[in-house]
A and B are shown apart, each in its own frame.
Chain A
Amino acid sequence: MSRITHPIVFLLALAACSSSSTNDNVDRQHGRTGNLGYDVPAAWQHKDSNDRTSSTSVWTPTNNPAKESISVIRTEVHLAPSAGPAEIQQLLIQAQNGLRNAKVSSPSQIVSDAGLRGAQVSVDYLPPNMTQRYHRVHAVLLDGDSLVHIFYTAVDPDQSRQAFVRVHVSESGSPRRINGSTGIDRRSRS
Chain B
Amino acid sequence: MKSLVLACILVASGIIFVAKSWSDVGADSTASDLPGPPPSDQTPPYVGMARHEPGTPYDPGPTDAIWKYSDLKADEKAHVDRGRAVAGWTDVHEGYNTAIMEQAEQARATAAEHELGLQDSGEIGVVP
Tell me the A residues contacting B by CB distance below 8 Å.
53-54, 56, 58, 60, 64, 67-71, 73, 75-77, 79, 88, 90-92, 94-100, 125, 127-128, 130, 134, 136, 138, 140, 147, 149, 151-155
Question: Within 8 Å of chain A (Cβ to Cβ): is B123?
Answer: yes
Across the interface, do B118 and A95 meet the contact criterion of CB distance under 8 Å? yes
A98 to B110, CA, bound (A): 7
The interface stretch among B48-56, B83-91, B101-109 is B101-109
9 additional contacts, CB 8 Å, given A58-B124, A95-B113, A95-B116? A58-B125, A71-B124, A71-B125, A75-B118, A125-B122, A127-B122, A138-B121, A152-B125, A154-B127
A95-B112 CB under 8 A given contacts A75-B118, A77-B117, A149-B118? yes
A71: chain B residues at CB < 8 Å are: 124-125
Across the interface, do B112 and A128 meet the contact criterion of CB distance under 8 Å? no
Query: Which 4 pairs from chain A and chain B are nearest by CB?
Result: A98-B109, A75-B117, A94-B112, A71-B125
A186 to B11, CA, bound (A): 100
A73-B118 CB under 8 A given contacts A95-B112, A134-B126? yes
Task: Tell which of A76, A128, A140 touches B122, judged by Cβ atoms closer than 8 Å.
Answer: A128
A155: chain B residues at CB < 8 Å are: 127
A9 to B92, CA, bound (A): 55
The distance from the CB of B6 to the nearest CB of chain A, in whole angstroms, is 76
The distance from the CB of B112 to the nearest CB of chain A, in whole angstroms, is 4
Among B108, B112, B123, B125, which residue has the most Cβ atoms of chain A within 10 A? B125
The distance from the CB of A70 to the nearest CB of chain B, in whole angstroms, is 7
A136 to B109, CA, bound (A): 16
Across the interface, do A130 and B128 meet the contact criterion of CB distance under 8 Å? yes
Give the total number of A-B pairs whose CB atoms are below 8 A apart.
88
B75: chain A residues at CB < 8 Å are: none
The distance from the CB of B13 to the nearest CB of chain A, in whole angstroms, is 71
Across the interface, do B124 and A153 meet the contact criterion of CB distance under 8 Å? yes
The distance from the CB of A1 to the nearest CB of chain B, in whole angstroms, is 14
Across the interface, do B121 and A95 meet the contact criterion of CB distance under 8 Å? yes
Residue of B at shortest CB range from A64? B127
A63 to B91, CA, bound (A): 51
The distance from the CB of B125 to the nearest CB of chain A, in whole angstroms, is 4
A67 to B106, CA, bound (A): 27
A97: chain B residues at CB < 8 Å are: 105, 108-109
A163 to B128, CA, bound (A): 20
A125: chain B residues at CB < 8 Å are: 122
A73: chain B residues at CB < 8 Å are: 117-118, 124
Across the interface, do A149 and B122 meet the contact criterion of CB distance under 8 Å? no
Across the interface, do B110 and A91 meet the contact criterion of CB distance under 8 Å? no
Task: Tell which of A60, A75, A98 touches B105, judged by Cβ atoms closer than 8 Å.
Answer: A98
Across the interface, do B116 and A153 meet the contact criterion of CB distance under 8 Å? no
Enumerate B2-56 residues with CB–CB distance to A below 8 Å: none
A76-B118 CB under 8 A given contacts A69-B125, A98-B105, A98-B109? no
Residue of B at shortest CB range from A125? B122
